[in-house]
Amino acid sequence: MPQLLNYYYDTTYEEIVVFSPDYYTEVKEIQAVYKTEGDLIDDVKAGIEKVFGNCYIDTMDEATIAMLEVFLHIHLHGQRTLEERRKLVKSYFVGAGKMSASLLSDIIGTYTGSKSKCEFKSCDAQGNNKLYIDTERGSETSFYASDIMELIGAKLPAHIAYQFDVVYENKCTVQNEIIFGYPVIPNCGILNCGQEVTDL
């Protein structure tokens, strides 16, 4: 998480001691006051850093993400890690305004981390059109197609029919070993008793 404040010392107490007069180092009451003030200021710094972190989706804590999910009407189907929830919320903020194929690809890519192909073409003999969306599986550890379907449904107008497909590509190597044999079966009567087949 990016830090808003620059910390040279580990604690504020250490910083206070460095900048206070040397003769106070032996006074226990003053050291107790410094320690208390240092702890209070450390709590304030931690609160500032938390508020700063919650301003960005990539660093939001669980409570802030939960509030955004309620605000965006995101219905989670199953358990998600905090990182997965952040990606889903982030994808809802991409693509406000006029929808296009490249924008739709960007929205899906924000969630999946992979490229998508969008085509609007005829789907039946009556000349009706449908939006075909093909996306690659990507390298993410988890992938919920229901999240993407809900996201697309929220972004596209209701009158546009669409079909969403996930493309999986797995590279594998297949090796086959084929042995051809040449069975030498002589015609009847060519070999004499005890004669080797290789003599032919």
Q: 84-141: per-residue pLDDT in tens?
A: 888 888 877 776 666 777 788 887 887 777 788 888 888 888 888 888 888 887 666 6
Does 112 share its domain with 142? yes
d(CA 96, CA 37) in angstroms, rounded, equals 46
Residues 49 and 71 in one domain: no
Whether residues 25 and 79 fall in one domain: no
Q: 152 lies in a domain? A: yes
pLDDT of 49 higher than 60: yes
Q: Is 163 within a domain?
A: yes
pLDDT level of residue 33 (50, 70, 90 thresholds): very high
- Tell me, what's the pLDDT at 196? 62
Q: Tell me the CATH number at 124.
A: 3.30.300
pLDDT at 41: 92
Cβ–Cβ contacts within 10 Å for residue 141, how many? Answer: 8
Q: Does residue 100 belong to any structural domain of this protein?
A: yes
Kind of pairing between the strands at 116-122 and 162-167: unpaired
Kindly report, residue by residue over 153-183, the tens digit of the pLDDT.
Answer: 777 777 788 888 887 777 778 887 777 665 6
Residue 125 and residue 65 share a domain: yes
- Residue 199: which pLDDT band, with cuts at 50, 70 and 90? low
Same-domain check for residues 87 and 160: yes
- Average pLDDT on 69-97 reads 79
- Residues near 156 by Cβ (< 8 Å), separated by ≥ 6? 99, 104, 131, 162
Same-domain pairing of 27 and 84: no
Domain count, the chain: 2
Q: Tell me the average pLDDT across 20-41.
A: 90
Would the pLDDT of 72 be above 60? yes
In this structure, the answer to whether residues 68 and 147 fall within a common structural domain is yes
If asked whether residues 74 and 103 sit together in one domain, one would say: yes
Residue 97: per-residue pLDDT? 63
What pLDDT is attached to residue 35?
93
Is the same domain home to 100 and 153?
Answer: yes
Q: Are residues 69 and 158 in the same domain?
A: yes
**Confidence label for 188 from pLDDT (cuts 50, 70 and 90):** low
In this structure, the answer to whether residues 161 and 90 fall within a common structural domain is yes
- Residue span of the structural domain in which 18 resides: 12-53
**Residues 6+ away with beta carbon under 8 Å from 74:** 68, 88, 89, 92, 150
Q: Tell whether 183 is covered by a domain.
A: no
From CA 27, how far away is CA 16, in angstroms rounded? Answer: 14
| Residues 72 and 45 placed together within one structural domain of the fold | no
Rounded average pLDDT over 44-68: 90
